[in-house]
Structure 1
Amino acid sequence: MKKFQIPRASGHSSRPSPSDTETVDPLVTLAMLGRGWRVILAALALALVAAGLYLTMLATPRYVARATVILDTHRTEVVDFNGVVDGIRGDADELNSEVEVLRSRGLLNRVVEALDLVQDPEFNPRLASPSWLDRGLSLLRPARPDASPQQIRDATTTALIDALKVRNLPSSYVFEIAVTSEDPAKAARIADTIAQLYIRNQIEVKFEATETATSWLTERVGMLKQELETAEGRVKTFNTQSPLISATALGALEVQLKDIRDRLSRIRHERDARETYLGALSEAQGAGDKRAAAADPALDRIAPDDQAGFDARFAALVAQAEADLLRAEDQIAALETSEVALQGQISRQGEDMIELQQLSREAEASRMLYEFFLNRLKETSAQNGIQQADARILSQAVIPDHPASPRRGLVLGLAAAIGIVAGIALVAARELRNTAFRTARELEAASHTLVMGQIPLLRAHARPEMLRFLLNSPGSPAMEAVRNLRTSLMLANVDAPPRVILTTSALPGEGKTTTAIALAVNLAASGKAVLLVEGDLRRHTLGEYFPGLARGAGLASVLSGQVELEEAVQHDAESGLSLLIGDESTANGADLFASATYRHFLEEARGHYDHVIIDTPPVLIVPDARIQAQAADAVLFAVRWNATTQGQLDEALRMFETVNRPVTGLVLTQVDMAKMRRYAQDRSDLRYGSYAAYGAAE
């Protein structure tokens, strides 16, 4: 028999994963979010409720008060003295340093003392009542030892540091002091106190520095005074013990020494001349030589014949020359003695002068240093009490009207965002976990088998009501879908339309029986003789759809030869169907369907009816359907919409392939038409197969 069927690859491919696709269709994503709007809305509502509970019951409103101080780099000096502590220049390093001073533990310790924050439970957690969570944790951890007063104070200061933020406003000398507290008035009070103590601290630092400098200068001036007095005493003692020493007297001695040296040089020259003269006189022998050597006019006037007078005069000249030479020698000796004495005196006075000058310079240096420190001491002492701070309060803190945290808008916005994201994540997770089928396109892509029809969900509370609906609503979307299924099935093989049609499914409750009854009713309505066979010998549900059927011989009785086919078949006048119900049998159903009797039964049924529709048990439960399918012309496999999973479908189709009898087509049953529109990827999905008829009607 020729079958019209989409080729199937070996093995069943699973639904395409995100990694198998190169891009994500935004329309598909939007459709998925649209389908899960209830989940997203529920997550959003839950998040907003949680945020509301947090804001109203758990969150503690906290207020921020801000005070500002400004550095005064151009200060007016009361007196024009150089301060002991330099003012602030205002460069980046100093601005950052002042920020740290404002946040320093030393300054905040004083704030804790001034405001007695140790007694405030907000800053001293040991005073606060423990929460239920803390009580529970205290049972699990060892008890803490009692804290010392210093530890409590340090913990309070740490809490204040955590509540404080100090920043330098950009491009300015202004510092903002922001304090966070549960009490707005307390926050403003703490901010103002920090600013005031910061200003006071600057004055105290300068005052302490001035006091320290004054004390040191006083001590240093006393020491310098003693050193000056000692130096001046040494000068005075030296002047007392030494002769009068001055530069003038020393200059006079040097002039006197020069005069002596000049006289000594002259006398030595005269002595040398007299020695030469005396030598010439002594060497002269004759009268002429003596006259020439003596060069004396008186000697030249003596007559040559007056020898006695000549000799007397020559002797007198020799004696006079010797006397003059001796006198010159005496003068030279005296002058040399005076020169030596005067040189010694000048040398001694020069050394004394140098020592005196050294002592005088030392005394003068001590005097200058003493006077400098004394003046600095007076300036520093004059600065006591007139110190100015390098900063001033620009604006005091204002008590805030509204809490800074929690920010209700931000919390609610964040909660809404978290709720939406969580809802989207839940929807995405649900979509990823769900391997059921929602469109014919998905079903065909996953099974590689033709989807011949899509049967909508029948809103019937009982099985007889469903039969009434099929009979009384021939123009309903459901019956239009059944007619499309019949058309697809009959046209699957135009040359030999199927007469024995078998319906089955993977598991119970997937719409195979409803599909069999609807198809049988539709065929009967078209004037065909139809035999509806209940091929499930274990569960007898066909009678629930047809309450008027008598419980008696059925399919098992016919196959066992107990009754003839005509005797077992019952007729339903309203639907025009012939029905062969299932009955109890001691024989195994699989053995009965595998026997030649079953094939003979079908041949006999073909001779009496145009179509034989067999409703078989689920494939994954019992093997009956696979055995009965061997003698059927067509096998319709029911797949419940959004319920039958990929794994169940793959396993059921594989089991048919193991007996070399693939199914003819799939039927998507119990389709929720309203929801299916949300799962459709495009408009073609809405017109796919038989959905167009009842989809348009809806």
Structure 2
Amino acid sequence: MRLTDLLSLLWQRKLPLLLAAMVAGVLGFVATKAMPVRFTSEGLLLVEARDQAIPELNQIAAAQPLGMQRIRTEADILRSRQLSADVVRELGLDQKPEKEGFGAAIGALIAPVTEWVRDSVASLMSTGPESDQVPGAAPLDKVALAVEGLQKNLSIGVSENSNVVVVRYTADTAEESSNVVNALMGRYINQEVNAKRDTTMQANEWLTERLNVLRQEVDSADRRIQEYRERTGLLETSQGSISTLQLGEQQNRVAVARQELARAQAALDSALRSGGRGSAASEALSSPVVQSLRDREAEIGARAASMAQRLGRNHPDRLAAEAELRDVQRQIGSEIGKVVTSLRREVDAARDRLAEAQSSLTSTTQTARTGAQAEVGLLALTRDADAKRQIYQTFLTRAEQTRMASAQFPLARVISPAVAPYRPSGPPASVVAVFCAFVGLFIMGGILVLRRLTHGAFNSVQDLVQLTGIQNVGSLPALGRGRRNKMPALVLDQGQSGIAETLRALRLNMQSVAGGGPANTVLVTSSAIGDGKSTVASSLARLSAADGLRVLLIETDMRRPQLSQIFGAPWPGRSIEAVLNGETRLEDAIQVDERSGLHVLLSDRSSNNPQALIESRQFAELINRARREYRLVILDSPPVMRVADAVVLSQHSDAVLFAVGWERTSRTVVMEAMRRLPRSMRARMATVMTRVRPGRLDPLGYYEGYAKSSAPDLKRLPAPGA
């Protein structure tokens, strides 16, 4: 169902909707006023999610959950039955008198019925007279009843990402509601403080016992270390035992001696490899004398080489330079020999020092090995004593923290105590009345929509064709109130309009409905009054006559004739009743429409038995003559569901045009009306949907028109025999 259809349905049924809203609103207002007055108080409790700082305390008390889990755990504790029972006893809620008022009155009224039902069920379930009473039944516990009532009216609220717990309680009086909330929060905090104090005391006792045992173990470990030292004779300093220090010193001496020997040997090997000549010796031996001689050798060599190029082989200057060069080289060799001899002495001295250091290391190592086992035992005893001393210090610290924990504040505190409300809880009666009115409105609207969906009228051509199985030849729009009889005039004033073009298409489509032959006689009927059949018949007949066809419109609805409102009252004594009774001739009774040239045979409602006239031989002869003399004969019949005239008239028709009002007649009535027509006529039947809202016209069965000019005046056809 479209939104427009829904709004149209609700507007058409506005009176039942308003009535349902008023009744529901009044009932809601009365029920709210009759209910007892209730008061609700609220208190806020902050639960601090702090971690337990004492691990040993968790060995006795269960570890508290963290985060939202912790908050919900505390909320469950607030809902506990034991806490509620303590509040009931503290405030004396079990001594409250029974409630009076509307609820009590209703309970008193239904109490006999409830008692009778209970006795009846008990008698049916009992197996003998001994089962009427339960032996040893416990008396009614008022405290238990009061606890159940408190928990039923108690509300504990928590929210995500918040440590605040909201405590609400609803009672008959404002004082009781606030007292219960404050007493519940106070009891909860006291219970937490007492539990924390008891846990702390148990932890202190356990830690004290454990400290005494650990102190004894530390003292015993210290005594074993002292006895071991005396027995083994081990001497120690702050840096370790003496033998260990001596061994380290000797190892350092051996390492230093080895480094000196390696350095002296390297220098000697470098000098020996150079053979006392070349740059390698100069780099290995850093003697200043050798360096000076090397510089002089280079200078003399350069001068001798220059003279060799300029002077002859036996030149005195050249010979003197060569002799000087040989002398310098002999000096360099002498100096290098001295350096090599010195390096050999240093290597021998380094070997002696290394041998001495290794001898001392061997002696010290033998001495250290004798005390190694004793040091291992001492180290084991020392580690054991240190471990026990550390455990003792840890427990001593925890004991101090446990003593301080007893003086800490509780993990929950009241941040907003409950106060007595000055206004009853719940919405006002006016708000409840408005809400109930809206609920009643929605329920009634739902009933109307459901009724429309199950037993509603047709609101689309697709549904009409699908449910009836009969083809549709067109849809005509609604013209609004006061214009129902304006369509026959509109098709003449606006001959090229959408309505006129749709009627022309309807006339052509009726030719195919008649089973292949010409649809000379068309019966226009409907299922109920108000579907627009007379409007369709007169408009189709007028437009066809204006288009040049010879058309006769016969008013066969002799019980409630409607065509006189369009074409005027029939002439006295010249009606269809007079023709069928033989009082006048057909050509004298036919009236000619001046605007279209349509021939009309009207009814003056003078017959007491119209169905007998329709079933008469004269009517059959009238139809046969009309078939011969007119191109199109249209019969306007009564509704099918009112009288059986349409069933009789269908026997004289080539086709039946069934008018269905849009969202007017129920589907069940339309289907029943079509079923009452002869089965042989179903193949020659077509539907036309009338009074369709312009926005819901079927585009496949309605023509929008192509021009706005009026139809031209045509030459009107005279009456038969005129």
Q: TM-score, normalised by structure 2?
A: 0.50
Instruction: Tell me, yes or no, if the aligned pair for 1:65 and 1:398 is still in contact at 8 Å.
Output: yes
Who is 1:141 aligned against?
Answer: 111
Judge conservation of contact 1:68–1:175 (CA < 8 Å) in 2.
yes
Contact 2:197 2:406 in 1 (8 A): no
- Rounded to whole Å, the distance in 1 between the matches of 2:409 and 2:77 is 12
Q: Does 1:394 align with 2:435?
A: no
Instruction: Name which of structure 1's ranges 491-500 and 559-568 shifts more when overlaid on structure 2.
Output: 491-500
**Is the contact between residue 164 and residue 179 of structure 1 (CA under 8 Å) also seen in structure 2?**
yes
Deviations 1:589-613 (A, max 9, x none): 4443344432321233345443322
Query: 1:158 pairs with 141, 144, 148, which one?
Result: 148
Specify the alignment match of 1:577 in structure 2: 598
- Check the 8 A contact 1:637/1:663 in 2, yes or no: no
Of residues 651, 657, 666 in structure 2, which corresponds to 1:636? 657
Return the match for 2:87 from 111, 120, 123: 111
CA drift of 1:535 comes to 0.9
The answer to whether the aligner puts 1:553 opposite 2:565 as a matched pair is no
3-state secondary structure, aligned to 2:613: helix
Work out which of the residue numbers 44, 56, 60 in structure 2 matches 1:66: 44
Matches within 5 A, 1:330-341: none
Cα deviation for residue 169 of structure 1 reads 11
Going from structure 1 to structure 2, the CA distance change for 1:114 and 1:527 (only over 3 Å counts) comes to: same
Amino acid at match of 1:126: E
Listed one character per residue, the Cα deviations across residues 428-479 of structure 1 (whole Å, up to 9, x for unaligned) are 5134223432222222222222211212223242766565545444455433
Q: CA deviation at 1:200?
A: 6.6
Q: CA RMSD in A?
A: 5.7
Q: Which residue of 1 aligns with 2:699?
A: 687
Say if 1:576 and 1:135 are closer, same or farther in 2 by CA, change over 3 A: farther
Aligned with residue 180 of structure 1, among 162, 169, 181: 169
Q: Does 1:603 align with 2:621?
A: no
Give the superposition deviation at 1:137: 3.8
Could you tell me how far apart the structure 2 residues matched to 1:544 and 1:693 are?
27
Name 1:356's counterpart in structure 2. none
How far apart are 1:667 and its partner, in Å? 1.3
Name the structure 1 match of 2:101. Answer: 130
Q: 1:602 to 1:51 in 2, by over 3 A?
A: closer
2-structure distance, mates of 1:170, 1:660: 74
Q: Determine which of 61, 69, 72 is the counterpart of 1:88.
A: 61
Q: Which amino acid aligns with 1:198?
A: Q
SS, match of residue 410 in structure 2: strand
Go from structure 1 to structure 2 and tell me whether the alpha carbon gap of 1:204 and 1:143 turns closer, same or farther (over 3 Å shift): farther
SS at match of 1:141: helix
For residues 642 and 97 of structure 1, the distance between their equivalents in structure 2, rounded to whole angstroms, comes to: 62
Question: What's the CA shift for 1:504?
Answer: 1.3
Cα contact 1:456–1:481 (8 A) shared by 2? no
Is contact 2:44-2:164 (8 Å) kept?
no
Q: How many equivalent pairs are there?
A: 463
CA displacement, residues 90-139 of structure 1 (integer Å, 9 cap, x when unaligned): 478xx9999887555554444345456579xxxx5736x523x5434433
Counterpart amino acid of 1:88?
A
Deviation at 1:522, TM superposition (A): 0.7
SS at match of 1:597: helix
| 1:192 partner amino acid | M
Residue 43 of structure 2 aligns with an amino acid whose one-letter code is A
CA contact 2:558–2:607 (8 Å) conserved in 1: no
User: Partners of 2:164 and 2:515 in 1: how far apart?
Assistant: 93
TM-superposed deviation, 1:566: 1.4
Q: 1:436 aligns with which of 457, 477, 491?
A: 457
Distance 1:75 1:495 in 2: 102
Tell me whether 1:617 sits opposite 2:638 in the alignment.
yes
1:88 touches 1:390 (CA, 8 Å); kept in 2? no
Does residue 626 of structure 2 align to residue 653 of structure 1? Answer: no
The aligned amino acid for 2:414 is Q
Aligned equivalent of 1:192 = 185
- For residue 580 of structure 1, report the CA deviation from its aligned partner: 1.3
The equivalent residue for 1:450 is 471
Q: Give 2:109's aligned amino acid.
A: L
Cα distance in 1 between the residues matched to 2:13 and 2:191: 54
Give the deviation of 1:502 after TM superposition.
1.7
Counterparts of 2:157 and 2:561, CA distance in 1: 84
Label 1:504 to 1:88 Cα distance change in 2 as closer, same or farther (>3 A).
Answer: same
Distance of 1:575 and 1:205 partners within structure 2? 112
Amino acid at match of 2:502: A
**Cα gap change, 1:72 to 1:163, in 2 (>3 Å):** farther
CA drift of 1:564 comes to 0.7
1:653–1:662 contact (8 Å) kept in structure 2:
no
CA 1:551–1:511 in structure 2 vs 1: closer, same or farther (change >3 Å)?
farther
Is 2:647–2:678's contact at 8 Å kept on the other side of the alignment? no
Residue equivalent to 1:230: none
- Aligned partners of 1:553, 1:109: CA distance in 2, in Å? 101
Is 1:571–1:577's contact at 8 Å kept on the other side of the alignment?
yes
* Distance (Å, rounded) in 2 between the aligned partners of 1:659 and 1:469: 35
Give 1:516 deviation, angstroms.
0.7
Unmatched segments (≥5 aa) in structure 1: 1-27, 77-82, 210-385, 678-685
- When residues 656 and 134 of structure 1 are mapped into structure 2, their CA distance, relative to the original with a 3 A threshold, is same
Alpha-carbon distance in 2 for matches of 1:108, 1:193 = 12
Q: SS of the counterpart of 1:396?
A: strand
Shift, 1:654, TM fit: 3.1
Do 1:164 and 1:177's aligned partners in 2 also have CA atoms closer than 8 Å?
no
Query: Would you say the 8 A contact 1:179–1:190 is kept in 2?
Result: no
Gap change, CA 1:549 and 1:31, over 3 Å in 2: closer
Instruction: Answer whether contact 1:69 1:392 (CA < 8 A) is retained.
Output: no
Change (3 A) 1:480 1:551: farther
Structure 1 equivalent of residue 555 of structure 2: 534
Match of 1:504 among 525, 537, 541: 525
CA contact (8 A) 2:84 2:184 kept: no
Q: 1:582 to 1:188 in 2, by over 3 A?
A: same
The answer to whether the Cα contact below 8 Å between 2:573 and 2:583 also exists between their aligned partners in 1 is: no
Partner of 2:689: 668
CA distance in structure 1 between the partners assigned to 2:111 and 2:554 by the alignment: 74
Q: 1:37 to 1:495 in 2, by over 3 A?
A: closer
**Bigger relative contact order, structure 1 or 2, given CA contacts below 8 A and separation 6+?**
1
**Per-residue Cα deviation, 1:326-347 (whole angstroms, up to 9, x for no partner):** xxxxxxxxxxxxxxxxxxxxxx
3-state SS of paired residue (2:467): helix
C-alpha deviation, 1:495, in angstroms: 8.3
Report the residue type matching 2:101 in the other structure. Answer: P
Q: Is the 8 A contact 2:78 2:156 kept in 1?
A: yes
Distance 1:150 1:35, change over 3 A: same
Taking a change above 3 Å as real, the CA distance of residues 35 and 453 of structure 1, as seen in their structure-2 partners, is same
Are residues 56 and 469 of structure 1, via their aligned partners in 2, closer, same or farther at CA, if it must alter by over 3 Å? farther
| Alignment partner, residue 234 of structure 1 | none
Partner SS state of residue 664, structure 2: coil
Aligned residues with identical type, % of pairs: 26
Cα gap change, 1:426 to 1:539, in 2 (>3 Å): closer
Structure of higher CA gyration radius: 1
Q: 1:562 to 1:434 in 2, by over 3 A?
A: same
Distance 1:668 1:456, change over 3 A: same
Q: Say whether the 8 Å CA contact 1:555–1:581 is kept in structure 2.
A: yes
CA distance in 2 between partners of 1:97 and 1:640 (Å)? 68
8 Å CA contact 1:71–1:391 kept in 2: the answer is: no
Which residue identity does 1:65 align to in structure 2?
A: G
